[in-house]
Amino acid sequence: MSRHLKQTDNDFKGIGFSKIGYFKEVRSKIKELEQLNVELATRHNKLEAIINSMNSGLTILDRDLNIILANKIQMEMFPEVSLMGQRCHRAFFRKTKVCKDCPALKTLATHETYRGEIVIKDGAFAGRCYEWTTSPIQSPLGEISEIVLLMRDITRRKNAEFKLLQADRMAAIGLLAAGIAHEINNPLTSIAGFSEGLLKRLKRLDDLGENGSLDPFREYLEIIFNEAYRCKDIISNLLQYSRKSTEDTEILLVDQIVNDTVALVRQHAKNLKIKITFKSNLGDGFNRIAGNEAQIKHLLLNVLNNAFKSMEAGGRLTILARNSGNLIEIAISHSAVKTAGSTPNGIPADYCSESQSQSGAPMDLSVCYSIMRYHGGDLRYQAGRTRRQSSFILRFPAVME
What's the pLDDT tens digit per position in 64-108?
889 988 888 888 888 877 888 888 888 888 788 888 889 889 998
Query: Does residue 172 belong to any structural domain of this protein?
Result: no
Say how far apart CA 155 and CA 389 lie, in whole Å: 30
Mean pLDDT is lowest, of 80-84, 171-175, 190-194, 343-347, for 343-347
Same domain, 259 and 378: yes
Q: Average of pLDDT values for 178-200?
A: 78
Whether residue 296 is found in the same domain as residue 336:
yes
The rounded distance, in Å, linking the Cα atoms of 337 and 339 is 6
Classify residue 165: in a domain, yes or no.
no
Whether 364 is in a domain gets the answer: yes
Using the predicted structure, report yes or no on whether residue 363 has a pLDDT greater than 50.
no
Any idea what DSSP says for residue 401? -
- pLDDT band at residue 348 using 50, 70 and 90 as cut-offs: very low
Considering the domain architecture, whether residues 240 and 359 belong to the same structural domain is answered as no
Considering the domain architecture, whether residues 40 and 71 belong to the same structural domain is answered as no
Q: Are 159 and 367 in contact (CB under 8 A)?
A: yes
CA dist 82 → 53, 58, 130 (Å): 20, 15, 19
Final residue before a domain boundary, out of 28, 53, 78 = 53
What pLDDT, on the 0 to 100 scale, is given for residue 26?
75
Looking at the structure, tell me whether residues 316 and 400 fall in a common domain: yes
If asked whether residues 219 and 299 sit together in one domain, one would say no
Pair (286, 360) in one structural domain: yes
Would you state the pLDDT for residue 288? 92
Q: What is the CATH number of the domain that holds 91?
A: 3.30.450.20
Residue-wise pLDDT for 107-147, tens only, equals 988 889 999 888 877 767 777 888 889 999 888 777 888 99
Question: How is the beta sheet containing 315-324 ordered, strand by strand?
Answer: 274-280, 315-324, 327-336, 389-397, 378-383
Indicate whether 146 and 193 sit together in one domain: no
Query: What are the start-end ranges of the H helices in 79-154?
Result: 88-93, 103-110
Which residues form the domain of 49? 1-53
Quote the pLDDT of residue 388: 59
Confidence at residue 137, expressed as pLDDT on a 0 to 100 scale: 87
167 in any annotated domain: no
Q: How confident is the model at residue 397 (pLDDT cuts 50, 70, 90)?
A: very high
Let me know whether 147 and 272 are in one domain. no
How many folded domains does the chain comprise? 4
